[in-house]
A and B are shown apart, each in its own frame.
Chain A
Amino acid sequence: MNKENSKGKAVFKALLSKNELGAVLPLALLLIVVAFVNPNFFSTGNIFDILRTASFTFIVAIPLTFLLSSQGMDLSVGAATSLGGVICGMTLKAGVPLPLAIVLALIAGAAVGTLNGILIIKSNLPAFIATLGTQYLVNGIIAIITNNLAISNFEGNFKQLSQYKLFDQIPMPIIYAIVLGIIGQFLLTKTRFGREVLAIGGNKETAYLAGIKVNSRRMVTFIGTSVFASLAGVLIASRFASAQPAAGTGTELSIMAGVIIGGTSMFGGQGTVIGSALGAILLATITNALILMNVSTLWQNAIYGLILIVALYVDKYRRKALSGE
Chain B
Amino acid sequence: MNSEYILQMKNVTKRFPGVVALRDVSISLKRGEVMAICGENGAGKSTLMKILSGSYTSKEYEGEIWIDGKVTDFSSVQVAEACGIEMVYQELNVMLDASLAENIYVGNLPMKGIVVDYKKLYSDTAVMLKRVGLELDPKQRVRGLNSGQMQMLSIARTLSKSPRIIVLDEPTSALTDKETDILMNTIDDLRREGVSFLFISHKLDEVFRIADKVVVMRDGAVVYENDVKSVTEDKLVEAMIGRTIDNMYPKQPAQIGEEVLRVEHLTVPHPSNKGQNIVEDISFSLRKGEILGIGGLVGAGRSEVLSAIFGYITRGVTKDLYLNGQKVNIRSPLDAIKHGMGYVTEERKQTGYIWVHSIRENLTLACLDKIFPRGIVDKNTEKELADQMFERLDIKAPSVETMLVNLSGGNQQKVVVGKWLLSQPTILLIDEPTKGIDVGTKAEIYKIMNELTHSGVSIIMVSSDMPELVSMSDRCLVLSNKHITGELTGSDITQENVMKAAIAS
Contact = CB atoms under 8 A, between A and B. Distances in A.
B368 to A, nearest CB: 6
Interface residues of B, number: 29
Contacts of B405: 322-324
B353 A206 contact: yes
B377 A195 contact: yes
Contacts of A192: 368, 372, 375-377
A208 B333 contact: yes
B414 to A, nearest CB: 16
- Which of A192, A208, A210 has the most B CB atoms < 10 Å from its CB? A210
Interface stretch (A87-95, A197-205, A242-250): A197-205
Contacts of A198: 357, 361
Nearest to B307: A209
A269 interface: yes
Contacts of B109: none
Interface string B382-414: 000000000000000000000101100000000
B199 interface: no
A66 to B, nearest CB: 15
Contacts of B355: 202-203, 323
A236 B23 CA distance: 69
B18 to A, nearest CB: 15
Given A206-B352, A210-B419, A269-B356, A195 B368 contact: yes
A68 to B, nearest CB: 13
B122 interface: no
A135 B194 CA distance: 62
A269 B350 CA distance: 14
Contacts of A199: 354, 357, 361, 365
Interface residues of A, number: 27
B368 A206 contact: no
Contacts of A118: none
Interface string B354-372: 1111000100011010001
Contacts of B332: 208
A191 B366 CA distance: 15
Interface string A173-214: 000000000000000001111011011001101111111110
Contacts, number: 81
A81 interface: no
A191 B356 contact: no
A190 B334 CA distance: 22
B208 interface: no
B372 A207 contact: no
Contacts of B361: 195, 198-199
A90 B361 CA distance: 47
B473 interface: no
A270 interface: yes
Nearest to B375: A192
A322 B366 contact: no
Contact of B356 (A202, A205, A324): A202
B491 interface: no
Interface in B326-346: 332-334, 337-338, 343, 345
Contacts of B375: 191-193
Contacts of A324: 405-406
A190 B373 CA distance: 11
Interface in B149-183: none
B417 to A, nearest CB: 13
A269 B377 contact: no
B5 interface: no
Interface in A260-276: 265, 267, 269-270
Given A195-B377, A202-B357, A209 B368 contact: no
Interface string B315-335: 000000000000000001110
B105 interface: no
Contact of B354 (A193, A202, A213): A202
B230 interface: no
Given A210-B366, A322-B405, A324-B405, A191 B372 contact: yes
B244 interface: no
Interface in A96-117: none
Contacts of B354: 199, 202-203, 206-207, 269
B21 to A, nearest CB: 21
Interface string A37-79: 0000000000000000000000000000000000000000000
Given A198-B361, A210-B333, 13 more contacts: A195-B368, A195-B372, A202-B355, A203-B350, A206-B351, A210-B366, A211-B333, A212-B365, A212-B368, A213-B334, A322-B403, A322-B405, A323-B355
18 contacts: A190-B377, A191-B375, A192-B368, A192-B372, A192-B377, A195-B368, A195-B372, A195-B377, A196-B368, A198-B361, A205-B350, A205-B351, A209-B312, A210-B333, A211-B337, A211-B338, A213-B334, A265-B356
